[in-house]
Amino acid sequence: MRPTAALIPILVFVVFGTASAFDSFRPSPNQQVQLGKRAAKELRKQEHVLPASDPRVKTLRRIARRILSTFHDKDAVWEYSFDVIDSKEINAFALPGGPTFFYTGLMDRLKTEDELAGVLGHELTHVRKQHWAYAYADSQKRNLGLSIILMAARANETLANLVGITNDVVFELPFSRKHETEADDGGFDALVSLGYNPQGLADTFQMLRDAIKDGTPPEFFSDHPDDKNRIKRIQEKIKATGTTFHSQTPLDYLDK
């Protein structure tokens, strides 16, 4: 679960674009950036965010820079940032628009750069593919109970009354299985393109599943649905590459 307790509700006073009735429920990229930045600002006020000098922050940002260097999105408006929250929660997430947070509870369980890079690639795919915006649009359509025809007829009237999005929606809206698979593929591709071992992504999901057995269910699964087949799928993708990958690289901050 993404953190919500004690956070001030965030209101984003926008009227979504109306290029079509179907798309008008989905916040634009610029609106996603605005919403994510405001949510991140409130989160930093409420949580203990580690300083830039912390070895875990340095490592996270170094690997993030490598992953970002592989992106070639034309006209992308995303504003990425990378922070570490000092908490035992086993969690990581990216807010709409780019702000990304890792918890020490997760980072201290990761063993290799390959694992960390896999989670980062996964989370940044959620941003790049606008998964939160699509999930928000879908939830609005379900909540309103409108048919496509009714949405087309009354979309502007409905949107005129949508004057805010609370932090509950920003932090708690779960992703679909389809979007989770797409994010797994994004993490996998990032690892391969940078010469990391994609087994790191599978190892991370196995660690998360093991944590459940140990009685410490990861908050990560609260908004990232767990699929028991995802590890098998990643390993099948590794096999399909026909490549023998080098050993994973231990995280440097574990020795400090």
Q: What is the mean pLDDT of the chain?
A: 83
| Residue predicted with more confidence, 12 or 246 | 246
| pLDDT tens per residue, range 18-43 | 434 446 788 899 999 999 999 999 99
Burial of 131 (0-12, 13-18, 19+ CB in 10 A): buried
Identify whether the C-beta of residue 180 lies closer than 8 Å to the C-beta of residue 126. no
pLDDT at position 213: 85
Supply the pLDDT for residue 164: 59
Q: What is the pLDDT of residues 68-124, one digit of tens each?
A: 998 887 668 999 999 999 999 999 999 999 999 999 999 999 999 999 999 999 999
Rounded CA-CA distance 227/243 in Å is 25
Question: What is the 3-class SS of 19-35, one letter each residue?
Answer: CCCCHHHCCCHHHHHHH
Cα–Cα dist 101/146, whole Å: 35
User: Which tens digits make up the pLDDT trace of 173-228?
Assistant: 678 889 999 999 999 999 999 999 999 999 999 999 999 888 888 888 887 877 77
